[in-house]
Amino acid sequence: IRKHNGQGTLLFVDEIHRFNKSQQDAFLPVVEDGTIVLIGATTENPSFELNAALLSRAQVYVLKRLDDSALELLIERAEQDAERTLPTDEQARSTLKAMADGDGRYVLAMCEQILAQDELLNTEALLHIVQRRAPLYDKGDDAHFNLISALHKSVRGSDADAALYWF
C-alpha cells in the first residue's frame, strides 16, 4: 500500500453496486497500485453487480444474519445501556427475535421503542407496537426469501403470533 505521511488510505463505499461499470472502472488503477484499499458493501450479489475486473481484485466476505443468541446479546446490551430490562414477557421477547429475522438494527430499534413503554408487554402488545413497520418486499430482491425464512423460523419455533405476522 502506498502511504501518504506514513498512513495508507482506506476507502469504504456503501452500496457499491449502484456505481455503473465505468464508475467502478475508475477504482481499478488506484486499487491496483495500492493507493487505496477499497472496501465495498452491497446487499446485492457482487458476482452480478460488480464488473469482473474489480471483482477479480477483491476478496468477497458474506455477512450472515445474526442467530438467536447474537440477537439476545444485542437485547442484553440494549438493556445494560438503558439500565433496565426490556418490559416483555418471555414469549414476547422470543417473538421479537423471530420478527427481527437476524437483523440487528431492527432488534435494536425495537428495543428502543419497547424500553419507552411503562407496562409489561405480552406478545399481543408487542405486535401492536411493531405493526407500524411494514416488512420490506421486492420480488426481485432477497426480501422475498427473507420473509419466507422469517415465516419458517416462527413456525418451527411454534410462535403463532410471529408466524401470522410474517404470513
pLDDT by residue, tens only, the chain of 167 residues: 555 566 778 999 999 999 999 999 999 999 998 889 999 998 888 888 899 999 898 889 988 889 999 999 999 999 999 999 999 999 999 999 998 989 999 999 999 999 988 899 999 888 888 775 455 555 556 666 677 777 787 788 787 887 787 77
Q: Which residues face 123 on adjacent strands?
A: none
User: Measured between alpha carbons, how far apart are the two ends of the chain, in Å?
Assistant: 50
pLDDT value of position 130: 77
pLDDT value of position 114: 92
d(CA 158, CA 152): 10
d(CA 31, CA 11): 10
Closest-CA residue to 34 (of 60, 57, 12): 57
Whose cell is 474489480? That residue is 54
How distant, in Å, are the alpha carbons of 34, 51, 158 from that of 1? 4, 23, 53
Residues in the chain: 167
pLDDT value of position 152: 80
- Contacts for 83 with CB less than 8 Å, ≥ 6 apart: none
d(CA 55, CA 142): 21
How distant, in Å, are the alpha carbons of 97, 121, 136, 164, 166 from that of 147? 14, 24, 8, 12, 6
